Amino acid sequence: MKGTLATALSSAILLAVWTGSVSAQSARAGTSDDGHAASGLVMKIEREPARATIQHGPVQTLGWPGMTMGFAVRDATILDRLQVGQRIDFEFVQDGKRYLIVRVK
């Protein structure tokens, strides 16, 4: 019984340490576990469908070079804070075949 309890306790401690390490790495990267961070220049804003075209720099978490591409937005009110020609830092996630901006800093 003591051996089983010790093993369970050890496993719980290792899991807590590993989870904290992953969270710390995500915090250093500036994104959530499944998100990506980028900086770029807003080139175009479309209300329908709700999307922004951004000329962004490299995205290290995806191995992407800098490029210009369209991003959908998770919440259309994000577009209210954007202007063509504005430089932004943003976070995005993959949703199926599209990429969604989830936060603009």
The CATH architecture assigned to 35-104 reads Beta Barrel (2.40)
- Domain-by-domain residue ranges, the chain? 1-30, 35-104
Q: Judge whether residue 93 has pLDDT over 90.
A: yes
- Summarised one tens digit per residue, pLDDT across range 4-48 is 545 444 544 444 434 444 444 444 444 455 799 999 999 999 999
Q: Is 78 helix (H, G, I), strand (E, B) or coil?
A: helix
Using a cut of 0.75, tell me whether the model's pTM lies above it.
no
Q: What is the mean pLDDT of the chain?
A: 81
CA separation (Å) from 53 to 65, 75, 83, 94, 98? 16, 15, 11, 16, 13
Structure confidence at residue 34 (pLDDT):
78
